[in-house]
Amino acid sequence: MQFDMSKLDAAERYKLLVNTITPRPIAWVVTQDAAGNRNAAPYSFFNAMGSDPALVAIFMGPDDVRSPSGQKDSLRAIRETGEFTVALVSEDDAPKMVRSATDAPAGVDELALLDIPTRPASMVTPPLIASAPVTYECRLWQFIETTANAGIVLGEVVAMDIDDRLLGEENGRLRIDAPAMKLVGRAHGAGWYWRGSDQLRIDRQNWPLDQT
C-alpha cells in the first residue's frame, strides 16, 4: 500500500514515520535558559550528522498548548543561549528519561522534579546528567525552522565525555565498549523501547566481493 504524504495530515505522517524508522537513538537534552532555568527532555528525532564539524541533529516540534512562546522549553532555551548538552540514555536511566517528557507546565525544571543528579559541563553552561554513560556538550551550529516554533537544531559537539569503564585499548587503538552502555532506543508506538543486547555481525568487504 502506498501512502501519498500530501494527502495525510501531520499526525498521520508522524505515525507512519515513527513506527517505521526504528529504533531511534534518544537524546536526553539539558538546557539552561537566559534566566537560568534548567530543563531536561528526551528527543528521538536525533542522530549524528557528520564529523567535520562534529554535528548532531535534533528535531523539536512546536508546543502550542503549554508554552507562551509556542516553543518547547528546550528549543526556546537553545535559541536564547546557543547551548545544550545531550545525555545518551541507558536502561537504568530510561524510566526517568520517560518521566521527564511529561507535559509539565512550561518552565518546570525536570532535573529537580525527578531528582536527576548532574555535574558541571566544561565548555557550556547547561549541566551534564551524571549517570549517563556518554554526554555531549553542544553549541548551536544552525537552526532550520520547518514550521512556526519548530525545526531542526544542528548542534556542534564541542566536548564529549565517555565513562572510563567503557574505554579500553587494543593494539594501541582506542576501543569503546558500546554494548556496555546498555542504551535504549525508541521503538514503535508511544511506550516501546529497544534494547541493544541482541547484535548481528556482518563484516564489510573490500572490492571485489567474493561469491560466498
Pair 189, 19: CB distance under 8 Å: yes
Residue 115 binding ligand FMN, by CB under 6 A: no
Q: Kindly report the CA angle at 120 between 117 and 124, in degrees rounded to 5? A: 130
Q: Which is nearer to ligand FMN, 58 or 157 (CB)?
A: 58
Q: How far is the CB of 29 from ligand FMN (least distance, A)?
A: 7
Residue of the chain from 32, 33, 38, 43 that contacts ligand FMN (CB under 6 A): 43
Place of cell 544552525: 142
Stretch that binds ligand FMN, among 43-51, 115-123, 134-142, 171-179 (CB under 6 A): 43-51
Dihedral sign (CA 66, 95, 88, 198): negative
Q: How far is the CB of 209 from ligand FMN (least distance, A)?
A: 37
DSSP annotation of 93:
T
Q: Name which of residues 63 to 82 contact ligand FMN (CB under 6 A).
A: 63, 72-74
Residue 129 binding ligand FMN, by CB under 6 A: no
Q: Which is nearer to ligand FMN, 26 or 128 (CB)?
A: 26
Q: Which residues are CB-contacts of 195 (< 8 A; sequence separation ≥ 6)?
A: 91, 182, 184
Q: Kindly report the CA angle at 105 between 102 and 111, in degrees rounded to 5? A: 60
Q: Which residues bind ligand FMN (CB under 6 A)?
A: 26, 39, 41-45, 59-61, 63, 72-74, 98, 101, 103, 186
